[in-house]
Structure 1
Amino acid sequence: MKLAIAQMNSMVGAMQKNAERILALANEAYAEGAHLLLTPELSLCGYPPEDLLFRQDFYAANQRALQWLAQQLPGEMAVIIGHPHEVGGKRYNAASVIHSNRIQATYHKHHLPNYNVFDEERYFEAGDLPVVFEWHGTRYGILICADIWEAGPALQALQADAQFLLILNASPYHMHKQQTRYQVLHDRIQETGLPMVYANMVGGQDELVFDGASFCMNHRGELMLELPMFEDCLGYLPLAQHQPVKADVATHLPLEAAVYQALQLGLKDYVRKNGFPAVVLGLSGGIDSALTLAIAVDALGKERVKAVMMPSEFTAGISVEDAAEMARLLQVEYSVLPIKPLFDGFCDTLATEFAGKAFDTTEENLQARIRGMLLMAISNKFGSLVITTGNKSETAVGYSTLYGDMAGGFALIKDVPKTLVYKLARYRNSLSPVIPERIITRAPSAELRADQTDQDSLPPYDILDAIMEAYVEKDLGIEAIISLGYTSTDVRRVTRLIDRNEYKRRQAAVGVRITERGFGKDRRYPITCNLAFE
């Protein structure tokens, strides 16, 4: 007996196309001698469908695709398909076993995650019954994603005489996530003594990226199979005497390589699934836009990427040189649009309004907004997606301009701390040198006034990022962060900036989530509030 795992990239809402993809994978697996195919959680409709799950026609379309698929599958092939299921006026996150041209059994997910990026209690009822089916002499139990995080559902399957557990997952990527998955399965195996297969979705869906990395552990918790990260693929697992036989285990990616691939896939799928012909971004000669450009070219190809340098009177000559050099190295379409005439025109128009007022952040922001308007004009004319280039550190403390450098459709590195930006740039250059060394080594600057550097306004990035992680990702309070060794001045300054700039983050473009807690679906703070709790 051979089990196949469909580590597939579903499109949300494209039920028929997803069904056709499942059928193609089933036929391919059957031709390779497999008789059982496991697909990811909600593979038929894509994950997460969010409020589409409130629509009656959404369930009807899923049911049509499910019935169509049942009629098309090879007679000796069983497929476990994830899909939403409505029965008796209740709605469930479900998995159905299909073979012999019909649905043989349907399992309803027991534990509905309602934290971080998950809102399943908003949409589904919880199931409470196990499903165990026999196929080719082995009794398989079914679980869905969060069911494996507690002992109950796995023990129920064991009590129903399961010999092997099949787990459908839509588990989004963040750094170090795979080690957590290993530990959870290892815990359940210790409790049940059952081998388990963890089939995970792959692909980008708005801010989430699913990394695949599907795997199997035997009844001793030993890794028997692991599929590559970030690849849409089929994996095969031989079985003997109800136990998995050792198969291929993909090489683990180093952290920077994994993050880089997550960002690539997130951008590629956002562009592909939304039908954009190309992307455009502002190339400033700084590290953030340089990394963004490199990822865009690697994800989409040089023919679909345009870079625009928009120098002002404050732009350093080396910034212009380095931007041009990087565009040459990556062979992308490149334009230079000086903004000084536009800036002077705005200043002349506002001269009476601003009489007697000194140059300040108003004029700095005006330059950023002029650049944003130019990029959006190119987007409107050619249909290209504007990629913004702000990192997580800047997003956290509001070191960005609304309707300026924040203007765009996809914020590719919005969840990448500045310290990690440098590591990713070094990683990319280790593959081939495309980011000029001077971009990496020079002091970062917004170049919106004379002799400006980021550290004029912010603490050093290693300190800022550490405080941000403690406050945003770990929910530590001010005194707790100070106790870690950071100065009261830095901690209070950074946390105050984070709190004050929620209004900006609400207006930012969606972007790839690569940390355990990004600014978006999994951190929802009020704009109007007293965070001193007085």
Structure 2
Amino acid sequence: MKIAIAQINPTIGEIAANASQIFQFALQAEQQNVSLLLTPELSLCGYPPKDLLLNSSFINDMAATLEQLAHDLPHSMAVLVGCVQPNAQYHQSGGKPLFNSAALLHQGKVEQVFHKRLLPNYDVFDEHRYFEPGLQINSFSFSSIKIGVTICEDFWNDEDFWGKRSYATNPIADLAALNVDLIVNLSASPYSAAKPHLRETMLKHAAIRYQKPIIYANQVGANDDLIFDGCSVGFNRKGEVVGRAKAFETDLLVVDFDEQLPDLKPSVIAPMPENDEEEIWKALVLGVRDYSRKCGFTKVVLGLSGGVDSALVAQIAASALGKENVLAVLMPSPYSSDHSVHDALLLAKNLGIQTQTLPIGDLMAGYDTALEPLFANTSFGLAEENIQSRIRGNLLMAIANKFGYLLLSTGNKSEMAVGYCTLYGDMNGGLAAIADVPKTRVYSICNWLNRTTEIIPTNILTKPPSAELKPGQVDADSLPPYDILDDILQRSIHNYQSAGQIVGAGHDKATVTRILALVARSEFKRRQAPPGLKITDRAFGTGWRMPIANKWIDASTHQLKLSPPLHSNL
């Protein structure tokens, strides 16, 4: 029996168009004599729908579309569609009003419905807000095969793999006890670096442990800050990959289930990205492309400074939308070096993108004149430096507003963490393309992009990074070297290490205390930043929930002294 995965790219709330995608994939599958087609989690409405689920019209539209889709689909195959189902017991027994479900559509009708049993409530997930957990072990018989059905998180609770349980039940163990022939999983698993490999390791472990073939159908595409890598995959009972869909692209993967074995036979195995840099690059390009497309933008604008961050964002934009749809704006000040302007223009030439130069010296002078009565008898400082950034931010927003472009902000994660950025200046934008990419990773991706041809000028990669807001300024005047800074941030933000543990790992105590204080007091900036594409397991986005008015001090290195903010408007 042939089973296929429709690795689709749904848009949240575009229910009819998502149903059309499923229908078109079903027609392709029909041509290959597929008997069962799988779609991702909540494929009908797109994941995550968030508070759209609180709107009864949204739920009713989904229900009507599901019925129509069942009627329209080829009757020769069954299709598992990710959707939402009402909780009929809600008014009598309480709980949540909805289930996160998979509907089995067959021969013109909704034949069965299965509910997700494990509901994640961590990082970017908030499913307890909307859904009631399913209580039934989910399986159905098709042809002569008994198929177990799971939805995303149902697979992520194997204590033998993780060393612990996060939930009381293990749906995979329950299905194995029922002696199903095959386990399928409908998923919408948000991307983070190296997660596709971790996911396959987990699935392989389950296939070997329970001696069951597994088919995993994942969503692809980007919705807001979340990116989905696809990489849908099939494993046989030995834990061998027998089929894999493309990474970061829509795809139809067909695998053959041999009912006599019973097991999956080898099929097409698409390659995974060769390294972390290629994987993250593909994720960022997809993220920018889908955010632009799904929000109705066809062109983007960004400030091009001659630095490495804007260089990377420019190349992402050109790859995502096409070089003809990118406008790079150079805004040199009296403090901008000649090499920065030259480097920016050379990069733009290499990429083939349009540029516009808007010098800001006269605008700076105008601000100086306007503020002179108030700023008289004070020294040049952060306020004056930040004016430059805010002038640039205003110009970019004016261009975006005038022509309907999406403004991409170019700040990296290291800067966002410690506040080395300016509110209403370089933080302006509709999307922060590399806000979850540490500075050291920015360099490694750029070097990877230059592996065969120099696209990003070498001088951009070798010169000391600088905001160029005053004569001779370099980042090292305010921050430790980026390899040190990023390691401290990794240990604190991702590994949840205390200040004492980070110092114990070999970092200077004064540096650690200063950096952690800057992270804490920069929360007000991050709260006002544009959405940033998530590519790590701990991004400054929907999964980051820190208070702004925060006076807690990590005493593990004794008393910490708060440092002044960097490039702050306070």
- For the residues of structure 1 that align with 2:23 and 2:246, how far apart are their CA atoms? 22
- Provide the rounded CA distance (Å) in 1 between the counterparts of 2:198 and 2:346: 42
- Give CA deviations for 1:99-127 in whole Å, capped at 9, x if unaligned: 11111111100000000111011110000
Q: Which one of the candidate residues 432, 442, 449 is aligned to 1:411?
A: 432
Alpha-carbon distance in structure 1 between the residues aligned to 2:44 and 2:106: 16
Q: Which residue of 2 aligns with 1:304?
A: 325
User: 1:533 Cα deviation (Å)?
Assistant: 6.1
The reply to whether residue 248 of structure 1 matches residue 268 of structure 2 is: yes
Deviation at 1:334, TM superposition (A): 0.6
Match of 2:335 among 311, 314, 330: 314
Q: Is the aligned partner of 1:231 residue 2:238? A: no
Does residue 470 of the first structure (1) align with residue 491 of the second (2)?
yes
Report the CA distance between 1:75 and its aligned residue.
1.2
Counterparts of 1:405-484 in structure 2, within 5 Å, are 405-430=426-451, 432-484=453-505
Q: Do residues 100 (structure 1) and 107 (structure 2) align?
A: yes
Kept in 1, the 8 Å contact 2:532–2:540? The answer is no
**Superposition pairs for residues 122-133 of structure 1, below 5 Å?**
122-133=129-140
Match of 2:300 in 1: 279
Task: Provide the identity percentage.
Answer: 43
1:37-116 maps to which residues of 2 (within 5 A)? 37-88=37-88, 89=90, 90-116=97-123
Q: CA deviation at 1:252?
A: 2.1
Would you say 1:215 and 2:233 are equivalent positions?
Answer: yes
Query: 1:158 aligned to 2:165?
Result: no
Extract unaligned runs of 5+ from structure 2.
91-96, 159-169, 556-570
Q: CA deviation at 1:246?
A: 1.0
Q: Which amino acid aligns with 2:470?
A: R
Contact 1:446 1:452 in 2 (8 A): yes
SS in 1 for 2:451: helix
1:173 and 2:191 matched: yes
CA distance in 1, matches of 2:179, 2:107: 23
Residue correspondence of structure 1 range 303-452 to structure 2 within 5 A = 303-430=324-451, 432-452=453-473
Instruction: Look up the match of 2:201.
Output: 183
Contact 2:114/2:149 (<8 A) preserved: yes
Between the aligned partners of 2:488 and 2:543, the Cα distance in structure 1 is 19
1:320-354 CA-partner distances (Å, limit 9, x unpaired): 11111111111211100000000000001100100
Query: Residues 528 and 94 from structure 1, CA distance in 2 versus in 1: closer, same or farther, beyond 3 angstroms?
Result: same
Comparing 167-176 with 240-249, greater Cα deviation is found at 240-249
**Offset, 1:467:** 0.4
Q: Which amino acid aligns with 1:103?
A: V
Deviation at 1:461, TM superposition (A): 0.1
Aligned twin of 2:167: none
Amino acid of the structure 2 residue aligned with 1:24: Q
- Please, what TM-score do these two structures have when normalized by structure 1? 0.98
**CA offset at residue 277 of structure 1?**
2.5
> In structure 1, how many angstroms separate the alpha carbons of the residues matched to 2:507 and 2:87?
55
Match in the other structure for 2:535? 514
Tell me if structure 2 keeps the 8 A contact 1:216–1:223. Answer: yes
Structure 1 residues 230 and 223: alpha-carbon distance in aligned structure 2, compared to 1, 3 A threshold = same
Say whether 1:147 aligns with 2:167: no
The CA distance in 1 between the partners of 2:504 and 2:150, in whole Å, is 42
- Residue aligned with 1:351, SS: helix
Report the residue type matching 2:134 in the other structure. Answer: G
C-alpha displacement at 1:429, in angstroms? 1.7
Q: What letter corresponds to residue 47 of structure 2 in structure 1?
A: Y
**Is the contact made by 1:132 and 1:161 (CA closer than 8 Å) also made in structure 2?**
no
Q: For 1:371, give the aligned amino acid.
A: R
- 8 Å Cα contact 2:81/2:103 also seen in 1: yes
- What secondary structure sits across from 2:374 in the alignment? coil
Letter in 1 for 2:63: Q
Residue 431 of structure 1, CA deviation: 5.0
Give the secondary structure class of the aligned counterpart of 2:391. helix
Aligned residue-pair number:
534
- The SS at the match of 1:352 is helix
- Other-structure match for 1:203: 221
Shifted more, 156-165 versus 421-430: the winner is 156-165
Match of 1:121 in 2: 128
Report Cα offsets for 1:39-67 as digits up to 9, x if no partner.
00000000000111111111101101100
User: What is the TM-score normalised by the length of structure 2?
Assistant: 0.92
Given candidates 546, 549, 554, the residue that maps to 1:525 is 546
CA apart distance, 1:220: 1.8
Counterpart amino acid of 1:435? I
Alpha carbons 1:308, 1:335 under 8 Å: kept: yes
Q: Quick one: which amino acid aligns to residue 174 of structure 2? A: Q
Name structure 1 gaps, 5 residues minimum.
none
